[in-house]
Amino acid sequence: MERWNGWGDPDHDVALPAALPGLLLHELGPGTPPQDALLADVLGAAPPPRLPAGDGFSTDALDRVLHARGQSFPDLVALRSGQLGTLPDAVAHPSSAAEVRALLERASAAGAVVVPYGGGTSVVGGISAPPGDAPVLTVDVRRMQQLHALDEHSRLATFGAGVAGPQVEARLRAHGHTLGHYPQSFERSTLGGWVATRSSGQQSLGFGRIEDLFAGGRLEAPAGTLELQPFPASAAGPDLRQAVLGSEGRLGILTDVTVRVRRLPEADVVAGAFLPSWDSAVTVARTLVQDGTPLSMVRLSTPAETAASLLMGGRAGRAMAAALDLRRLGGQRCLLLFGVTGGAGTVRSARRHVTHVVRAAGGVGAGTPIGRSWQRGRFSAPYLRNHLWERGYGVDTVETAAVWSSVPGLVERLEAALHGALEERVHVGTHLSHVYRSGSSVYTTFVFRLCPDPAETLQRWARLKAAALRAIAEGGGTLSHQHGVGLDHRDALPAEKGPLGMAALAALTTAFDPAGLLNPGKLLR
């Protein structure tokens, strides 16, 4: 059972780092926790469903509430305040592609619209039930989670699209394989959701983004079934996998997904290093990726984020800070975490090379303890969001990617925009989370004070978000590196795609879904 109005498993909690409340109090002032709505009241207020129960439709109020919203900041405000907006009128839990097809036909006959639902971890409003006259059927695909086939010769695995991260890895590891796709939402997000949003895992530098891993599959659309065969390569015209990747439930429902897997690596190590300044750190990250060092991850924090991480690292963090001070790596130091995955020899030589590049830039190595600490907590940060809310602070992230020549300017512009968006202080920290030969992603977290009135909190968030999106566009970044478009980024998409691009996307949705049944309003109007 997932927590209904926040992140994660209610039986598994992660303690707030002891220094964090003090840091926020000092930087932002005291937080005022808003009053949370009670689940019983939310269930009691659910409007009568506009679809009949039975024949695959659940109209149970809890099922409808649990599928109403995702994990974006506006979703969190809605859930905590109990002002959920439109609820799905029914939820379906199909177990097969045939059942999905039957549901699409039944929804169409009932004049309903359909929201495909994976793990419900969208942070852009991707699974919200659309308002309007049409009843809403949410199709939760998580019963389709079997490993259907593993072709060890070709290193291809076919799963039901609703399989969540931990099951993907457990099933592959039982056969000595791995996918290596670890978004921070790993616990809960699904393979189909990863494809539908063009997801990126923390070790995408080594394992690839989902578009590199997605080999084929099956999509049930109102206009028919699309089978994508897992050819290793093909020149047979445009690659339709690319149309499905990032389609955000607008083209059809993925029922099976074939992915490219690997043998489990001998070693999977994360280590750290500190660089003396942001400029030197960015140069090191760029050098490492451009010279082809076989790394699975490069994660580089700005001086502000580095300082906050060391502070939150407790005694070990303080000891590290003191050691760095002694070595004259002072206030502008930046933490570089790098992953190496593969055979023992590869790991040794890659680490040697990183050490060489770091030292040449005036930095120092910090070894694997800091990396192991990151590995232990790699999926924990979202739990902290719950705690911060309960202390009166809101936290959200914005993310983008840009070419190397734009990255430093973009980071500066983005942080300045967030700092200046409200009349009061905002805590801001940035890291480069995924690096490429031509550029990098930029991932910025911001924390601000909540208001007692949810509408005012939303207004604050909207100002921060608008300022960030403007800075990203002006700084040469893409609208999203990994979170997708959904509702929250939809109106900014035409500026990136242009009129012809938007017309092509609209034509594609019409070809797959002529009556506009699927996830209306997400990705594009």
Ligand X SMILES: Cc1cc2nc3c(=O)[nH]c(=O)nc-3n(C[C@H](O)[C@H](O)[C@H](O)COP(=O)(O)OP(=O)(O)OC[C@H]3O[C@@H](n4cnc5c(N)ncnc54)[C@H](O)[C@@H]3O)c2cc1C
Distance between CA atoms of residues 254 and 118, nearest Å:
10
Cβ 433 to ligand X, closest distance in Å? 8
Token digits for 482? 């990994």
Contact assessment for residue 198 and residue 166, using Cβ atoms and an 8 Å cutoff: no
Stretch that binds ligand X, among 37-45, 86-94, 179-187, 324-332 (CB under 6 A): 179-187
Looking from the CA of 227 toward its CB, the CA atoms found within 13 Å total: 3
Distance between CA atoms of residues 453 and 333, nearest Å:
39
Q: Check residue 70 for interaction with ligand X (CB under 6 A).
A: yes
Size of the site for ligand X (CB under 6 A): 38
Q: Check residue 200 for interaction with ligand X (CB under 6 A).
A: yes
Q: Which is nearer to ligand X, 183 or 276 (CB)?
A: 183
Q: Which of residues 444-483 bind ligand X (CB under 6 A)?
A: 482-483
Q: Check residue 199 for interaction with ligand X (CB under 6 A).
A: yes
Q: Check residue 193 for interaction with ligand X (CB under 6 A).
A: yes
Q: Check residue 73 for interaction with ligand X (CB under 6 A).
A: no
What would the 3-class secondary structure string for 28-77 be?
HCCCCCCCCCCHHHHHHCCCCCCCCCECCEECCHHHHHHCCCCCCHHHHH
Cβ 385 to ligand X, closest distance in Å? 7
Among 88, 249, 363, 394, binds ligand X (CB under 6 A): 249
Among 20, 141, 428, 471, binds ligand X (CB under 6 A): 141
Helix (H, G, I), strand (E, B) or coil at 424: coil
Cβ 365 to ligand X, closest distance in Å? 26
Q: Check residue 400 for interaction with ligand X (CB under 6 A).
A: no
Let me know the angle formed at the C-alpha of 433 by 377 and 424, rounded to the nearest 5 degrees.
85
User: Checking DSSP bridges between strand 113-117 and strand 136-140, what pairing results, if any?
Assistant: parallel
Among 248, 396, 415, 513, binds ligand X (CB under 6 A): 248
Residues of the binding site: 116-122, 197-200, 385
Question: What number of other Cβ atoms are within 10 A of residue 358's Cβ?
Answer: 24
Q: Check residue 189 for interaction with ligand X (CB under 6 A).
A: yes
Distance between CA atoms of residues 218 and 233, nearest Å:
18
Active site (annotated) includes residue 393: no
Distance between CA atoms of residues 100 and 224, nearest Å:
12
Q: Which is nearer to ligand X, 390 or 412 (CB)?
A: 390
- Residue number of the CB closest to ligand X reads 193
Q: Which is nearer to ligand X, 413 or 465 (CB)?
A: 465
Q: Which is nearer to ligand X, 361 or 505 (CB)?
A: 505
φ, ψ of residue 411 to 5 degrees: the values are -60, -45
Element (H, E) at 227: strand 224-228
Token digits for 323? 């050691």
Residues of the binding site for FAD: 116-122, 197-200
Distance between CA atoms of residues 423 and 98, nearest Å:
55
**Bridge partners, residue 444, by sequence:** 398, 430
Q: Check residue 192 for interaction with ligand X (CB under 6 A).
A: yes
Element (H, E) at 408: helix 407-419
Q: Which of residues 115-134 bind ligand X (CB under 6 A)?
A: 115-123, 126-127
Distance between CA atoms of residues 316 and 196, nearest Å:
40
Q: Check residue 49 for interaction with ligand X (CB under 6 A).
A: no
Q: Which is nearer to ligand X, 208 or 276 (CB)?
A: 208
Catalytic residue among 182, 383, 393, 443: 443
Q: Check residue 520 for interaction with ligand X (CB under 6 A).
A: no
Question: Binding residues for ligand X, per CB under 6 A?
Answer: 7, 70-71, 115-123, 126-127, 141, 161, 183-185, 189-190, 192-194, 196-197, 199-200, 248-249, 253-254, 382, 482-484, 519, 522
Kindly list the catalytic residues.
Answer: 443
